[in-house]
Structure 1
Amino acid sequence: MKISIYDTNDAMSQAAAELVAKQLAEKPNSVICFPSGDSPTGMLGYIVQWANEGKINLSECYFVGLDEWVGMDENDQGSCKYYLKHNFFDKLNNKLNNVTLFDAKVADLDAECERMNNFISSKGGLDVMIVGIGMNGHLGLNEPGTPFDLYAHRSELDPVTVQVGQKYFTKETPLTEGITLGLKHLAEAGKAVLIASGAKKANIIHESLQGTVSTEVPASILQTLPNALVLLDKDAASELEHAS
């Protein structure tokens, strides 16, 4: 695990976008997983800007979604699909051809997990998997207690996730279950990338990166991954010991 700390959220976001740009320059048909939420917005802004300026080429790569609230799609404000559509896909001048996202409205969610697993496997695995971190240490919707050896799976949402998740919606929205790529995907990715910013994340960042490795803090798996890259702004890194 390598930790990089930046002065601002913008600098961290640009560094994350540069990591994606470098990956695409080296392997144009890379398979890349993007999250939704607050953390990736700046990064996606840079990727959109550079793609529209012709500085990076997204035409050959494959984009995979990280997770979704069960029962929601791109028409639900607050869904992961809605976020990616409005912050990424719709802002690109050229339509992306190779996008694979969870369909969280299907009757057979286990079969949907297998579909995602099979797609990723058919492409040789994820080249880059980018995740944010929840206030309870979740990555994607891998909630506290999730085994480290799972691929895509259904997830019963932790109360903290249910509470914090309300910020993505304009009205109180029942959240009970999610569907998500697994921590095994993160472990097997060419690059496992965590991005986080803000002082509110400082405590869980410290617990995840310098505390005990445990399934109760899913992000602690990063300590065990030689392929892990952690990009933080100074506020998110403020409780780390011996960080620079």
Structure 2
Amino acid sequence: MKISIYPTTDDMSKAAADLVAVQLAEKPTSLIVFPSGESPSGMLKYLVEYAKEDKADFSQCTIIGLDEWVGMDERDYGSCKHYLHTNFFNHLDLDPERVVMFDAKAEDLEGECERINTFIAEHGGLDMMIVGIGMNGHLGLNEPGTPFDLYAHLSELAPITVEVGQKYFKQTTALTQGITLGLKHLSEAKMAVLIASGEKKATIIADSLQGHISPDVPASILQNIAQARILLDKGAASKLEHVS
């Protein structure tokens, strides 16, 4: 893995957007996973600007949604789909068939996992998978204890995920399960990208990138991924040792 540290969150966000733009220039038909949440907001803002300035062409790529709260879709404020549509898709001229996301309201959620797994496999695997990191080290909704060898799956949400997740909703919302791409997808992606900012993430970043590798800290899998790119602002990197 390669760790890059930037002076500000904005610098980190721009660097992440630049990685995506380069990927699209090198392979316009790329299969790219995008997350929702606070971490990618700056990156997505830059990518929308790049698209409008013809610095990034999304017309031939396929976008995969990282995860979703079970029982929600794009009509639910606070859902991952709502976030990505509002902050990204609605600002781009995208072919809807090139956006592939979980149907978290499906009757057969296990079937949804298989649908996404099959789609990725049949399209040659992921070219780039971008993730943020939770306060407990989760990537996507791969909570502590998730085996490293899982593809898409259902997850029981950890209490801290339920607590922190409330910030995305206008009112207290019951969250119990998630549906998510797996850590096996991350390890097999041609480029795995972690973005994180703020001192509140510093402890879990240090534990993940320089601590013991264990499913108890899902993000520690990044230490085993040679093609991983870690993009941090100074706050998030502040507890790392011997990294400049």
Same fold (TM over 0.5): yes
Over the aligned positions, Cα root-mean-square deviation in angstroms equals: 0.6
Q: How does the TM-score come out when normalised to structure 1?
A: 0.99
Letter in 1 for 2:210: Q
Q: How does 1:4-83 map to 2 (within 5 A)?
A: 4-83=4-83
SS across alignment from 1:63: strand
Aligned-pair CA distance for 1:95: 2.9
Q: Unaligned stretches of 5+ in structure 1?
A: none
SS across alignment from 2:32: strand
Letter in 2 for 1:148: F
Letter in 1 for 2:196: A
Distance in structure 2 (CA, Å) of the matches to 1:95 and 1:60 = 9
Check conservation: 2:58, 2:94, Cα contact below 8 A. Answer: no
Letter in 2 for 1:225: I
Identity of aligned residues (%): 68
Aligned-pair CA distance for 1:101: 0.4
Aligned-pair CA distance for 1:96: 3.4
Show CA shifts across 1:191-243 (max 9, x none).
Answer: 00000000100000000000000000000000011011100000000000011
Distance in structure 1 (CA, Å) of the matches to 2:203 and 2:13 = 20
Check conservation: 1:67, 1:179, Cα contact below 8 A. Answer: yes
Check conservation: 1:37, 1:83, Cα contact below 8 A. Answer: yes
Show CA shifts across 1:23-50 (max 9, x none).
Answer: 0111000000000000000001111111
Distance in structure 2 (CA, Å) of the matches to 1:154 and 1:240 = 32
1:99 aligns with 2:99: yes
Distance in structure 1 (CA, Å) of the matches to 2:34 and 2:132 = 9
Q: Unaligned stretches of 5+ in structure 2?
A: none
Distance in structure 1 (CA, Å) of the matches to 2:56 and 2:72 = 31
Q: Which residue of 2 aligns with 1:110?
A: 110
Q: Which runs of 4+ in 1 moved over 6 A?
A: none
Letter in 2 for 1:95: L
Letter in 1 for 2:175: L
Check conservation: 2:131, 2:193, Cα contact below 8 A. Answer: yes
Q: How does the TM-score come out when normalised to structure 2?
A: 0.99
Residue-pair matches, total: 243
